[in-house]
Structure formats: structure tokens, C-alpha cells
């Protein structure tokens, strides 16, 4: 097996993935590494692994646009794949004003040429990384698909104690296929698994997905985050790259500048949160409403899975002016994102007709049960709503879209008629249907609690624990 590891500046992720590919190497696999920048190469300790390391930023610095390779891959959504990193660059002010139209063509050309060269040089069978979450990974996926290789995107799931391996996030139909087979009688599940699913649904009001327990994004304090001994080593590393280009290492930009911007973003959030809290409103008893949960940005759940609707204010405004008479829209802030949007964003949402802005600590499950439906991009709240027998109106792409309680919003201009039809339609799925659905989702996941934020020692143990399961899954697909 020939493995290509992708590596970038995602904090701590490299501990798990470095250890995982070392497990593959010990089992006889040939491993090569593709890294986004010199800074990530250094920070992630890639040269110490003993594998051949290929650095994209150095490749990109001298690359000239190859129009032929853009034509070769024209059937793929190359421009759409840039959105995730564009959003990240906008939020963190990574590129500044240093890019033009040709920059994007050169970036697409360079990414495709870079990965084609690596696939040919190392005869790659498998790409290993997290779920596709950025252009670096997205273009590696495209080349893998063209070359007949497997993309192994490792990430968490909504089920506690289980994780997923996905390829193309926009064509992830594992749950839908298993669900159709179960409902059609082609697949019979053990009673013990159905019992587990029934108990899980019965306790859904208290279940918290693993990723929400570990991401730490709800903590707004600055002292514990930044006044740590290991931050001194990070500062030294940043200073070594103080004069790096803001565009050659296109994901990270200039590391020092980008990290300063990250700090300032968290600093502003810390001191803005009090002002935001004053804008929150309370639910009104007896009021008919739809629930819209805000999302965290930047994140693949929005920029990859709901990119067309990335501007949430525009989405909310369209909903507000499409509501049936007498219905409110409750916009609930996200516990991990509250305070990051501008004050202007919050004020604009509050000014919309029919809209109430709710704080992140309002009881989500109770709101779901009291609502006339949940309307969302890709949120976990939509999944929970279905299990609580509440109808969902969905903009993005997500594993639960195959559930009959979901109404896809393919054309926002038709939203009002979709809402009018959906809100008078009785819930037409029962406990058995939901149990079948959860079982199908279970079958698309793998046993194991995945924490990609672990430090080196814990990450190494986790990688060694999960290696066999990941290897077996890949063997089935190669």
C-alpha cells in the first residue's frame, strides 16, 4: 500500500496523523507526505518521521499556470473547492490585498500539478487526512478520484464513541444506502443494535456529540489559552517566519501575522460578548416559530457542505421575508461561535421582521420540541430534530438528508410555499422509522472515540488503537 499523508497547520491534528502513518509504515506501507507550508513542516515535525516530504508552498512559489491541467480537470468543481480557504483567508485576513484573478488560476493549477506529480512519483493508493475541509484536501481528493485512489477522511460523528471515514463529502451516501436496504428488507439488523438505537433516541435530549465535548470553542477566556509555557516555543517559531509571504503559503499566509489576527479575533470576542448578550431576546410562550441555529465559521460544515448559503445573514433575511403569517423565526446563537460575528451582524438580524435573536444557552432540545420545524444549513440540531419528530428544512448537504422528515430547499425563492406545505403536514414517521435511521447511520460509522486535539502521547495511543479498524476499512475499498 502506498500512502500519502496530508499535513497542515490544524492545531494538534498532526500528532494523531503522524502516529497513524507510522503504524502503516510499520505494517509495510510506503508513506510520503504532502504539507502545505514550510511553517507546518517545521511545526508538525514531519522531517523527523523519515518519510519523503513535499512542500506545496515551495512548489507554488515558482509555478506558472498550466492551462492544460485546468482543462483536464474542468469536470470537477475547481472554483467551488477554493471557497473553504477563501472564507478562512477572509475571516483571518490572511492574504490581505495581495491576490488577483490570476492568483486563483495559478493556485488551482499548482494544486492539481503538485498532487498529480506526487501520485505518479509514489503510485499513491490512499490519501490520509481529516474529512475534506479545505482546498489542499479538496484538490488531493480530485486527483485521487482521477487516479482511482482512495481518499480516507477521518473525522468524528454525531454518535458518541464512534467516528467516520469519508471520501467525497458531497457524495457521502453510506447512511442513505444502508437506510434504504433496512427499510426495503434487504438488510436485517441484530435486535441488540436496534435496542441500542432505541435507547439512544430515548436519551437524545441529554446526548452530547464527542466533537462538542472536546473542541473548547465555547471557552472565551484568554489567560489559560495564551499564557502557557508551550506558547513561548510557538512564539519563537512564529518569529522565525516573520517575513514569510502572505500568499505563497496560501493556507497559513505569514504565520506571525495570521496568529496575531487569530489572537485579536479572540480578544475582540472576549470583550464583545457582553455587548452581544444584551441583544439576546427570550422565547415567547405560545408563539409559533421555526428554529434556525447559527453555525460556526470558518468550518467545512458550511464552506464545503453549504457553500452556496455561506452568508447566514442573507439566508436569515430570506427566511424572515418568506415566513407564513403569524410565524416567527428564532435565530439561536452557537455556543462555539457567539461573539465572533460583528456587532453589526447581530443588530441587522435583530432588525429583521418576525425574528427573535436567542442566546446560545437557551435549551436547544426544548426549543426543537416547541417549534413548528427546524430550518438549517447542516447543523446537528437538524439531526436531533428528526429524532425528536420535528420537521427539518435543509439548505446544505448532510448525512440525514435522506430522512423523510427533511424538506430540501433547492430553490430559496420557493421557501414560502415549502413552509406552508410542510408546516401543516403531520409528522409521518414513527419510532421504528427513526430506529432504522439511527441503525443505518451507525453502520456508516466505526467504533472509537476520536479526539484530534490530543497531545502527542495520547494521540499516539489513540492512533495505535484505531489503526487496525482504519486499515480494515481501507482494504475493503482499495
pLDDT value of position 212 = 67
The yes or no reply on domain 278-433 and CATH 3.40.50.2000 is yes
pLDDT value of position 11 = 87
DSSP string, 67-94: HHHHHHTTTS-HHHHTHHHHHHHHHHT-
Q: Which three cell numbers stand for residue 65?
A: 499556470
Domains 1-158+209-275 and 278-433 share a fold: yes
Q: Which three cell numbers stand for residue 400?
A: 440525514
Q: Which three cell numbers stand for residue 151?
A: 481518499
Average pLDDT by stretches of 10, the chain with 478 residues: 96 95 97 96 96 97 96 97 95 89 96 98 97 96 97 95 94 95 95 97 88 63 63 80 89 92 91 94 96 94 93 97 97 94 96 97 96 97 97 97 97 96 94 98 95 94 96 83
pLDDT value of position 240 = 87
Backbone angles phi, psi at 222, to 5 degrees: -100, -30
Q: How many CB atoms lie within 10 A of CB 51?
A: 19
Domain residue ranges in the chain = 1-158+209-275, 174-206, 278-433
pLDDT value of position 226 = 62
Give buried/exposed letters for 138-161 (b at 16+ CB in 10 A, else e). Answer: bbbbbbbbbeebbbbbbbbbbbee
Cβ contact 439:432 at 8 Å = no
Cβ contact 364:325 at 8 Å = no
Give the separation between CA 445 and CA 246, rounded to whole angstroms.
Answer: 39
Second-level CATH architecture of 1-158+209-275 = 3-Layer(aba) Sandwich (3.40)
pLDDT value of position 476 = 80
The one-character DSSP state at 406 is E
Give the separation between CA 425 and CA 428, rounded to whole angstroms.
Answer: 8
Amino acid at each position: 500500500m502506498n500512502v500519502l499523508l496530508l499535513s497542515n497547520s490544524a492545531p494538534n491534528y498532526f500528532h494523531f496523523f503522524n502516529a497513524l502513518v507510522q503504524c502503516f509504515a510499520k505494517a509495510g506501507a510506503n508513506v510520503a507526505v504532502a504539507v502545505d507550508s514550510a511553517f507546518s513542516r517545521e511545526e508538525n515535525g514531519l522531517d523527523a518521521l523519515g518519510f519523503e516530504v513535499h512542500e506545496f508552498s515551495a512548489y507554488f512559489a515558482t509555478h506558472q499556470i498550466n492551462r492544460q491541467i485546468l482543462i483536464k480537470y474542468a469536470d470537477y468543481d475547481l472554483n467551488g473547492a477554493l471557497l473553504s480557504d477563501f472564507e478562512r483567508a477572509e475571516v483571518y485576513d490572511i492574504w490581505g490585498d495581495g491576490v488577483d484573478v490570476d492568483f486563483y488560476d495559478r493556485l488551482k493549477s499548482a494544486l492539481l500539478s503538485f498532487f498529480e506529480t506526487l501520485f505518479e512519483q509514489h503510485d499513491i493508493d490512499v490519501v490520509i487526512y481529516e474529512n475534506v475541509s479545505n482546498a489542499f484536501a479538496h484538490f488531493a481528493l480530485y486527483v485521487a478520484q482521477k487516479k482511482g485512489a482512495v481518499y480516507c477522511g477521518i473525522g468524528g460523528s454525531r454518535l458518541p464513541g464512534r467516528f467516520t471515514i469519508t471520501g467525497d463529502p458531497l457524495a457521502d451516501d453510506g447512511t442513505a444506502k444502508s437506510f434504504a436496504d433496512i427499510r426495503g428488507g434487504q438488510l436485517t439488523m441484530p435486535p441488540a443494535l436496534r435496542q441500542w438505537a432505541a435507547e439512544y433516541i430515548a436519551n437524545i435530549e441529554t446526548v452530547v456529540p464527542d466533537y462538542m465535548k472536546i473542541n473548547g470553542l465555547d471557552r472565551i477566556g484568554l489567560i489559560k489559552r495564551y499564557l502557557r509555557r508551550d506558547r513561548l516555543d510557538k512564539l519563537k517559531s512564529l518569529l522565525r517566519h516573520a517575513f514569510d509571504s502572505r500568499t505563497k503559503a496560501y493556507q497559513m499566509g505569514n504565520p506571525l501575522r495570521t496568529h496575531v489576527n487569530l489572537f485579536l479575533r479572540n480578544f475582540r470576542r472576549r470583550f464583545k460578548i457582553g455587548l452581544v448578550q444584551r441583544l439576546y431576546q427570550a422565547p415567547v410562550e405560545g408563539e409559533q416559530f421555526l428554529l434556525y441555529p447559527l453555525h460556526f465559521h470558518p468550518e467545512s460544515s458550511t464552506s464545503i457542505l453549504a457553500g452556496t448559503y455561506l452568508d447566514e445573514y442573507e439566508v436569515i433575511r430570506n427566511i424572515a421575508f418568506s415566513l407564513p403569517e403569524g410565524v416567527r423565526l428564532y435565530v439561536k446563537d452557537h455556543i462555539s461561535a457567539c461573539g465572533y460575528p460583528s456587532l453589526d451582524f447581530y443588530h441587522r438580524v435583530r432588525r429583521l421582521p418576525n425574528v427573535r435573536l436567542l442566546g446560545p444557552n437557551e435549551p436547544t432540545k426544548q426549543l426543537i420540541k416547541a417549534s413548528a420545524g427546524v430550518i438549517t444549513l447542516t447543523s446537528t440540531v437538524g439531526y436531533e430534530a428528526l429524532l425528536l419528530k420535528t420537521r427539518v428544512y435543509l439548505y446544505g448537504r448532510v448525512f440525514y438528508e435522506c430522512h423523510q422528515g427533511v424538506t430540501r430547499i433547492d430553490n430559496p425563492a420557493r421557501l414560502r410555499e415549502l413552509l406552508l406545505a410542510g408546516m401543516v403536514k403531520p409528522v409521518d414517521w414513527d419510532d421504528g422509522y427513526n430506529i432504522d435511521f439511527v441503525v443505518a447511520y451507525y453502520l456508516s460509522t466505526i467504533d472509537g472515540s476520536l479526539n484530534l486535539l490530543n497531545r502527542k502521547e495520547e494521540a499516539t495511543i489513540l492512533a495505535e488503537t484505531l489503526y487496525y479498524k482504519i486499515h480494515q476499512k481501507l482494504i475493503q475499498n482499495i
